[in-house]
Amino acid sequence: MKIKLLTFLLVAAFLIFAGCTENITDFDEFAIDSDDSESEVVVIYLDNFSFHPDFVTVSEGDTVKWINNDTAASVIRGSSFQSPTLRKGDSYSYTFQNPGTYNYFLISHPWTRSGIVVVE
């Protein structure tokens, strides 16, 4: 009797928690939001402790927006910017004004591969 009850509870818990997950792999690898102005917003997703995409090229005045899809909180740092702590679903935007190559990384998870923004 106890084994049947335990088995039932384990199966019920599994089914409940299985429905609580999100499919966060369905995102655009490179999404650009634009409005009527000349500048653009390039979106980079943080998913599974990596940046998607991890390399982008933008123009001067364009904005890069990072969105955290990970459950772990993260802080993104570059040579000229640093995000606040981003929890799941939070975002951080930075507008690049000068040409150059900008490396950035997660200071909260230093083992992750860094990302690169090239501003032309």
Residues 102-119, mean pLDDT to the nearest whole number: 92
DSSP code, position 74: B
Q: Give the pLDDT score at 39.
A: 82
Whether the predicted pLDDT of 106 surpasses 50: yes
Does the domain formed by 24-119 have CATH 3.40.190.10? no
CA dist 110 and 5 (Å) reads 44
Please give the angle made by the CA atoms of 51, 56 and 59, to the nearest 5 degrees.
Answer: 140
Please give the angle made by the CA atoms of 42, 43 and 48, to the nearest 5 degrees.
Answer: 150
One-letter amino acid of 49:
F
Residues 67-88, mean pLDDT to the nearest whole number: 96
Portion of the chain with pLDDT greater than 90, in percent: 61
Choose among 69, 61, 66, 88: nearest CA to 77: 66
pLDDT bin (cut points 50, 70, 90) of residue 3 is low
pLDDT bin (cut points 50, 70, 90) of residue 50 is very high
Domain coordinates in residue numbering, the chain: 24-119
pTM: 0.69
Over the chain, what is the mean pLDDT? Answer: 79
